[in-house]
Amino acid sequence: MTDLFLQGSFTSSDGKPITRLWIDDVCGRAQELFVTVTLDTHYANIYLDGRLRRSFSVSTRADNISGTVFIGHSASSVGPWSGNVARLAVLDGTLDASEIGRRFLQWTSARHLDKDFEHRGTAYEFGDPSYLSTGAEDPESDLIVPKVFRLSKPRVLEWPDQFNRSVVFDAVVNIAGFIPFGLCTCLCLRLWTGWSIPRCVGTTILVGGAVSMTIELLQVLLPTRNSSLADLVTNILGAAIGARAATIREWEERQNVASFL
């Protein structure tokens, strides 16, 4: 995974919720990144190595900026975080572009940042993966890193935030995976019940939808899986294609007989 994702709870300027901030294709190189995120009542800006790389228009109150921050290289991957964090600071105050650039240059040259007396907050230093220490500015703000991460809020039948190659690939796999299901189910219904073709096709689609819905709802309970509305739709589409393929030959034979008569 090469993308950088930061997750929070914001509202865009048009009133739609924004739950993820992202930058495409920045984690594919084995090099250190200096990431700075600034948030005010109008914009969430993401700086990489001291330079502004992406800006999101948001709407929030200055007295209501709080919550939990998540950072990672994928929004849906089941693999573990593959990077290392050297330092993390959460600051209250205004950071402009020049100050962010100065901090970046100081960190790259000295691997150290001077104590910030102008911005209230807490800094965390990571000496090694098993050692954490909190900044002296606010010793009550302990950093907790759990051994196992779980979703803070289960997402049920979530629609993808953005369409990329991964979403398209998943859609193709879901359709292809349910075509055999629809084909076999429709053939069995036609053979065992003697129902009409439309009834067999309709029942197959309903059964495929029920099976897919069960799978997506069960995935809410699994921390490494996502409950996706897109998966439900594409699974149903695959079942419909399979059901239609199961009856197309019989349908064509009936049409030929009708034409002959």
Mean pLDDT of the chain: 76
Answer whether 6's CB lies under 8 Å from 21's CB.
yes
Q: CA-CA distance, 5 to 178, in Å (whole number)?
A: 31
Q: CA-CA distance, 103 to 111, in Å (whole number)?
A: 10
Whether residue 257 has pLDDT greater than 90: no
pLDDT in tens, 118-151: 777 777 777 654 444 444 445 455 666 666 666 5
Q: Which of 49, 50, 46 shows the shortest CA–CA distance to 20?
A: 46
Pairing mode of beta strands 43-48, 35-39: antiparallel
pLDDT at 136: 41
Reported in sequence order, the residue ranges of the chain that DSSP labels E, i.e. its strands, are: 4-11, 17-23, 35-39, 43-48, 51-57, 70-72, 87-92, 120-128, 131-134
